[in-house]
Structure 1
Amino acid sequence: MRKVVAFFPAHADAAAVDNELTTRDITNFHSIDVSSDFEEQIRQEILLTSREGHITILSAFLGALAGVLMVAFLLNNREFGQVLSPFLANTIYSTLFSGAGMGLAAGGLLGGLYALSRPLPQDFSGYTMLVIYSKPEMVRETKEIVKKFEGITL
């Protein structure tokens, strides 16, 4: 299932959109009236459908790689290695496990913060947000229905 996030202005008829989606057998969707306190949910819905999701995943993996390299360097360094090696057992498995864990946490956090800090393309107060899950072959048809009713897809 592919997710399509659509916003409809106040003058658009939500019932007509609902009927059109039901007629075309795109029945797995829900609508949310957007107000200022829904901004976080809007950001999450947009995050999961846009490039920022890829940025979060990429930064998590790069963080994991950096974490592994950092722990390997510290274990091979004479001063730090003598202190850290009893805690990390000084094996390749512990280096991979602890370094990747720390790196994934840091990279995922930084990538997520970057994605959530991006400004929204416009103010969606007063709009109705429709989250539509459709089959991959019906995504184009879903977007055409949204455009037909003056909706915006992100």
Structure 2
Amino acid sequence: MFENLLSLLGQVKTYQTPLPEADAQHAMGALLVRAAKADQKILFEEIQIIDQVLAQRFDLNPIEAAKMRASCEKLEAEMPDTVEMTGIIKDAISATEKEATLSALWAVVYADGIKHVEEDELLHQIEAVLGISSKRAKELQIAARG
């Protein structure tokens, strides 16, 4: 009987979703995921913020936002270069949207209540690629901290 169970488990196939297109929306979502993972762990609070940002930014319901986040998680894992990911959105969004994106990234980083050096470094790298001045980026960071 035990052998039958093992043979059944060995036949289980995993379902793989295709990699989403690296468009501006998915690249932004992937950056949100990368910000959440910068401290080597992703917490429920960070996932909630990511889903809220995606829902608000792209007019999605909660289930659609969660599905998009899952696609963005896959894209984030496949795109190791943060500069390349940020570059995808750089030319596709306005200056106001760039600032909103940076604010959303800071909100994700602060969701766990702890500021980590890795998160700080990542977001400063992203702000530079987006072309947001250090002064304005600091203002957005302070506002996101609340």
TM-score by length of 2: 0.30
TM-score by length of 1: 0.29
Larger radius of gyration: 1
More helix by share: 2
